[in-house]
Amino acid sequence: MSARSSWLLFYPRTSLSIALVFLMGFGVPHATHAEGPGTTRANPPVLVIVEVPKPWLVPRFLVARKMRDTISEYEALPGLAFKAYSIRHADGAFGGLYLWDDADRARTWFSPGWFERVERERGAAAQVRFFQVLTVIDTVQGGTLMDTRSKSVASLLMLPPNSVLADFSPEALVGLVAADKRVPGLLRRYRVIDEGGRTGVLSIWESTAAARLLMSDSMEAESEWFDTPILLPSSLPSHPSRLGGSEGAPQ
């Protein structure tokens, strides 16, 4: 989050005050880019998931409206390949699913000063999670376009170690990438490893219906769901995030 725009949620004494402060400004962090299996990089791309608690009385539509006010700050941010603004289903926490070109860019953005600003201005600490990205698939020809009124949703599945889907060896990833490109209703997919070494899959779906066709609540996986009301690919010229279906292909 930049100093130029912030959601000044410092939880004043009355609920009315919180609502008024919310209307004054809003800013949320993001995520960015990756490569295919077989690629070796000293500083690989990363997914960053940011979540900030939402005041109970602020409606979802107002959260999305304030998110749109920050688009210009992020659409040409160096090192950021793609951001999906996010609202978590479980508790309404708002933030973003950021795909960064590398960890250096991401950690420079999410500096100690960034965390201090968020807590000071919003009255609550942000939760920020980092994931190494092994593959990125964008199934849209030419790349997923900006959508400021998206009906898309995202799912994060963290896989149990004994799951056949948790095999992220180079050989397995070749087949997984090929299969990902043919999934109906799937816009983007990142295969990731969290800081604890667990494997996972972050998927962005064109709609809830598309996601539910292939996802089951009974799956043996730890799952989180998000509304993603804004999809924001990088607008920088020749950015890898614009490669569409070829992005994430095995090298």
Q: How far apart are CA 240 and CA 101, in angstroms?
A: 9
Beta strands in the chain (DSSP E): 31-32, 46-52, 80-88, 94-100, 127-138, 153-158, 186-194, 199-205, 222-233
* Token pair 């960053």 in the structure block, residue: 48
Query: In this predicted structure, what is the pLDDT of residue 235?
Result: 87
Share of the chain above pLDDT 70, in %: 75
pLDDT tens per residue, range 108-143: 999 999 899 878 877 788 999 999 999 999 999 889
**pLDDT value, residue 25:** 33
Among 12-21, 73-82, 188-197, where is mean pLDDT lowest?
Answer: 12-21
Q: Which of 27-31, 114-118, 155-159, 226-230 has the lowest mean pLDDT?
A: 27-31
**For residues 93 and 49, what is the distance between their CA atoms, to the nearest angstrom?**
11
Question: 237 is written with which tokens?
Answer: 């010229």
* Closest C-alpha among 223, 146, 130, 140 to residue 189: 140
Per-residue pLDDT of 64-102, as tens digits, reads: 888 899 899 898 898 999 999 999 999 999 999 999 999
Residue type, 102: D
What mean pLDDT comes out for the span 56-66? Answer: 83
pLDDT of residue 120: 84
Say if CB 81 and CB 30 are below 8 A apart: no
pLDDT of residue 203: 96
Helices (H), ranges, 181-250: 208-214
Region 185-193: mean pLDDT is 95
Contacts of 173 (CB under 8 A, 6+ apart): 36, 37, 38, 134, 135, 191, 250
Count Cβ atoms below 10 Å from residue 147 Cβ, excluding itself: 17
pLDDT band, residue 239 (cuts 50/70/90): low
What's the pLDDT at 118? 79
pLDDT of residue 248 exceeding 70: no
Can you read off the two tokens belonging to residue 52? Answer: 């900030």
In DSSP terms, which residues pair with 230 in a beta bridge?
Answer: 85
* Distance from the first to the final alpha carbon of the chain: 34
With bands split at pLDDT 50, 70 and 90, how would you rate the model's confidence at 29? very low
| Among 6-15, 101-110, 144-153, 238-247, the least confident range | 6-15
Statement: residue 226 has pLDDT above 90: yes
pLDDT of 212 over the 50 cut: yes
